[in-house]
Amino acid sequence: MAKTAEDNGAPPRHATQTDRGAAPRTAASPPRRALVTGASAGIGAAFARALAARGHALVLTARRAERLDALAAELRERHGIDAVALPADLADPQAPARLLAELQRRDLPIDVLINNAGYGVPGTFEASPWQRHADFIQVLITAPTELAHRLLPGMRARGYGRIVNVASLAGHLPGSTGHTLYAASKAYLIRFSQSLALENRARGVHVCALCPGFTYSEFHDVTGARALVSKMPRYMWMDADTVAAQGLDAVERGDVVYVNGRVNRAIKTLFKLLPDDLALKLIARRSRDFRVLD
């Protein structure tokens, strides 16, 4: 098996960093490079644009090659940064290893990982075949975990790394009827991020679980929930650009878990204070307001 990018033996490209912050960068230093998954639309594309505006080189991955190519070209022209599109379907268990092997082949070390790829499976658990659930678990749990594992040694060796795992407010709430695995997968990303942050903060690697609520994107069109969620009040919604910018600021500050928006933070706090039985009953009554159950 080909060696992955973090094992290529290349000398560190960046000055080392202590647990008190990064060493100053010089004009000769190459730009940090970020890998963004699910970059073809929504929050992923917003992360790509925000990173490019901050001077990062980019590797963009998602299934839709044409969209990736167009975004990479846009960001190269607008910001003068290096942007590479590497289409991949993370539902394929071999995709992360192939992606990392290609990064090694092109000598593209990754300093920032944005684990954003994701979607929802509408309906109840038994309504979908197992393979659909298996693909979901691969994309939302296994792939981001594997990418972090493969890229982390290089970040630690260079004394600098940023990992943002895009979770959700749903990861802080009881599971709802419908979209059975969604909240569970996001809760996993939150706990995974917490442990990973504690293990690596002394080595200059910041890890953050970003937890947006309702965000304007294609997510609800893909799941067939657009008509439902459009009935939600406007104060419940945020735009993808704001979510991404807040996520980058949060990981840079060293925040381990960041919930976007005051309304979402209030909801998280409320459900944390409620008894479990009451919180579950409240979610059960409201599931049809934002989940496709059939």
Indicate whether 9 belongs to any domain. Answer: no
Q: How many separate domains does the chain show?
A: 1
What pLDDT is attached to residue 155? 98
Global pTM value: 0.84
pLDDT of 2: 39
Indicate whether 7 belongs to any domain.
Answer: no
pLDDT of amino acid 231 = 62
**Could you give phi then psi for residue 124, rounded to 5 degrees?**
-80, 170
On whether residue 177 sits in a domain, the answer given is: yes
Residue 81: inside a domain, yes or no? yes
pLDDT at residue 286, rounded to an integer: 75
Chain centroid to Cα 231, Å, comes to 26
Give the pLDDT of residue 18.
35
Active site residues: 182
Tell me whether residue 2 is in a domain: no
- Asked if residue 1 belongs to a domain, the reply is no
Q: Is residue 247 part of a domain?
A: yes
Nearest of 1, 98, 89, 111 to residue 37 by alpha carbon: 89
Spatial contact of 121 and 136, defined as CB atoms under 8 Å apart? yes
Cα gap 139→180, rounded to integer Å: 15
pLDDT in tens, the chain (294 residues): 333 333 333 333 333 333 334 444 554 578 999 999 999 999 999 999 999 999 999 999 999 999 999 999 999 999 999 999 999 999 999 999 999 999 999 999 999 999 999 999 999 999 999 999 999 999 999 999 999 999 999 999 999 999 999 999 999 999 988 899 999 999 999 999 999 999 999 999 999 999 999 887 655 455 444 455 566 667 778 999 999 999 999 999 999 999 999 999 999 999 999 999 999 999 888 766 655 455
**pLDDT at res. 111:** 98
Size of the chain, expressed as the number of residues it contains = 294
C-alpha 232/C-alpha 239 separation (Å) is 14
Residue 44: domain span: 29-290
What the block records as the tokens of 72 is 């990479």
**195 in a structural domain:** yes
* CATH code of 76's domain: 3.40.50.720
